[in-house]
Structure 1
Amino acid sequence: MGIEIERRFLVTGEAWRGGVTEACRLDQGYLAREDRVTVRVRVAGAAAKLTIKGPGGLVRPEFEYPVPLQDAEAMLATLCGGRRVAKTRHLVPHGGLTWEVDVFEGPLAGLVIAEVELPAADHPLALPAWAGREVTDDARYSNAVLASLDAPPRG
């Protein structure tokens, strides 16, 4: 079974930008969200994936499958409605791990979230200075919830 072990943080300041090694624009939409299970389609450059995520916070089931780009674009256009997120993902190495700093666009402009996948739930994590409040267990900051918002969450 696929497992995702991930922590998420709001980002403070711009210091993370100096460590960026790569960036890619992502367009993703949610085909289904029910009982804390989500089905997402994502286009990243010329690649596309269908992802199914189960309930959980730090640790949760995750299954990813490549899909033809043309099919993914059609799903985004016809099946996702207003449940979409556009963002640029920046890769920032820190503390032996690669952090993904997402800069959101459109109605979520101004929101910046960093996430880091861990090899184990108890893996020690050296937080960069720009990692602010942890939102791993705050459902308001899940991409599935953000995809339906007209503005970033407050608080």
Structure 2
Amino acid sequence: MEIERKFLIEALPPDLDSCRSHIIEQGYLCTEPVIRVRREDDDYWLTYKGKGLMVREEHNLPITREAYEHLREKADGNLITKKRYLIPLDNGLTIELDIFDKPFAPLVIAEVEFASEEEAGGFVAPDWFGKEVTFNSEYQNSSLSRKKF
């Protein structure tokens, strides 16, 4: 189960380069239900996500680079590339800050994952977070993959 809240970011936090980061590339084989292939640095995943916005089922299956490359060619719509920074919070949570490449740039989204809906509901976002878009499906990566430019 994935429980997360999403926020738009207009100004990047200081000391971002001191945080761990990953380069991510992903494509969508299907958007209802969501079936995604992802390369995260040198790791490769096939992911199923159920319906929902803040809470939804999620299953990740590791795959080989060859399988990823084969499936990526079958992806519909836009291939999404982004740099993800992992920013630790004092409460043990982690902000996943995604800086999207073209054609989505200058889009920047922060996601925070939680162990429960209660924890998600009690989360107080840092001051530098912008508008919350958790319940706006337009900002789901699967929706972005279908966006026309």
What's the TM-score once normalised by structure 1's chain length?
Answer: 0.88
Residue aligned with 1:70, SS:
helix
> Given the alignment of the two structures, is residue 86 of structure 1 paired with residue 81 of structure 2, yes or no?
yes
Is the 2:23–2:41 contact (alpha carbons within 8 Å) kept by the matching residues of 1?
yes
The CA distance in 1 between the partners of 2:90 and 2:9, in whole Å, is: 16
C-alpha displacement of 1:126: 2.7
Mark the runs of 5 or more structure 1 residues left unpaired by the alignment: none
> Given the alignment of the two structures, is residue 72 of structure 1 paired with residue 68 of structure 2, yes or no?
yes
Opposite residue 87 of structure 1, the aligned amino acid is K
C-alpha displacement of 1:19: 7.5
Is the 2:9–2:128 contact (alpha carbons within 8 Å) kept by the matching residues of 1?
yes
Residue aligned with 1:14, SS:
coil
Is the 1:26–1:42 contact (alpha carbons within 8 Å) kept by the matching residues of 2?
yes
Deviations 1:51-105, CA, capped at 9 Å, x for gaps: 10001111111111101112102211x2014332110101011242101000000
- Mark the CA change 1:73 to 1:17 in structure 2 (over 3 Å): closer, same or farther: farther
Opposite residue 11 of structure 2, the aligned amino acid is G
Deviations 1:8-47, CA, capped at 9 Å, x for gaps: 000121225548520111000000112xx20000001110
Mark the runs of 5 or more structure 2 residues left unpaired by the alignment: none
> Given the alignment of the two structures, is residue 140 of structure 1 paired with residue 135 of structure 2, yes or no?
no
Is the 1:28–1:86 contact (alpha carbons within 8 Å) kept by the matching residues of 2?
yes
The CA distance in 1 between the partners of 2:116 and 2:69, in whole Å, is: 34
Deviations 1:84-129, CA, capped at 9 Å, x for gaps: 2110101011242101000000110100000010011111213111
- Mark the CA change 1:16 to 1:121 in structure 2 (over 3 Å): closer, same or farther: farther
Alignment: residue pair count: 146
The CA distance in 2 between the partners of 1:50 and 1:16, in whole Å, is: 33
Opposite residue 47 of structure 2, the aligned amino acid is T
Opposite residue 84 of structure 2, the aligned amino acid is R
Structure 1 moving runs of 4+ over 3 Å: 16-20
Aligned to 2:117: 121
Is the 1:40–1:50 contact (alpha carbons within 8 Å) kept by the matching residues of 2?
yes
The CA distance in 1 between the partners of 2:24 and 2:131, in whole Å, is: 24
Residue aligned with 1:127, SS:
coil
Opposite residue 128 of structure 1, the aligned amino acid is P
Identity %: 36
